[in-house]
Amino acid sequence: MILADTDILARLAEGDLVIDPLDDVDTQVQPASVDLRLGSEFLEFRRTNIPCIHPNDAREVDEYVEETHVPEGDDFILHPGDFVLGTTKETVAIPDDIVAHVEGRSSLGRLAVVVHATAGLCDPGYEGQITLELSNLGNAPVALSPGMRVSQLTFTELKSPADRPYGAERGSKYQGQTGPQASRIGDDPEFAPGSDGAATTDADDGAGS
């Protein structure tokens, strides 16, 4: 069951679903979603001459990105073809019986800006800010202003609470994250020394996770 506005407000009032700060309830709470605003930190991907990036080499990943801070009142210019990591201004906490989905706002979609490449899921139990995968698919640069509503969360109630929610028990990599976080795929068990490549049970590749 997807939560409607009355359900979202009720869960927020109960305190198990958290969106903080939620400064303008009337504007941000939509009929079946909550609008989230753009934060001030961005991770930009440098032009590089290395043959490739090895996901299991944290040094290579770190050298590939650089952090940019844009204060509210200024703009971050997202050029055609660019891919950057941004973050929500809000911190969320998702209860164990809800899964949240990150969606783009249609007004930005009509400017050819998308907010996630593939990581559109916030697992039950996730807490932290949400990393956004921002791309400009159009032909003109687009100015993104910290504080603007840039994405929205929808919430689906599970048939039963997750038995092993996202968090420390699972060794989840991005729990409690603040600001945009680069890939930590190198921490996956299949990249551990001596691993036989067996699949991990920690499904933690969502938007916040």
Tens-digit pLDDT profile for residues 90-138: 999 999 999 999 999 999 999 999 998 876 889 999 999 999 999 999 9
pLDDT: which is higher, 171 or 107: 107
Which residues on adjacent β-strands are paired with residue 78? Answer: 142
Mean pLDDT of the residues in the chain: 87
Q: Which residue has the tokens 């753009």?
A: 38
**Which residues participate in the annotated binding site for dCTP?**
105-110, 123, 131-133, 152, 166, 173, 177
Question: Is 127 a known active-site residue?
Answer: no
The predicted model gives 28-49 an average pLDDT of 91
CA distances from 201 to 170, 173, 204 (A): 9, 13, 9
Confidence band (pLDDT; 50, 70, 90) for 170? confident
207 has pLDDT over 70: no
203 has pLDDT over 90: no
What is the pTM for the complete model shown?
A: 0.84
Alpha-carbon gap, residue 194 to 154, rounded angstroms:
40
**What 8-state DSSP symbol labels residue 95?**
-
CA distances from 26 to 22, 29, 34 (A): 10, 6, 10
Cβ-in-10-Å burial (0-12, 13-18, 19+) of 30 comes to middle
Q: Please tell me which residue in 60, 133, 157, 169 is annotated as part of the active site.
A: 133
**Token duo for residue 26:** 């009337």
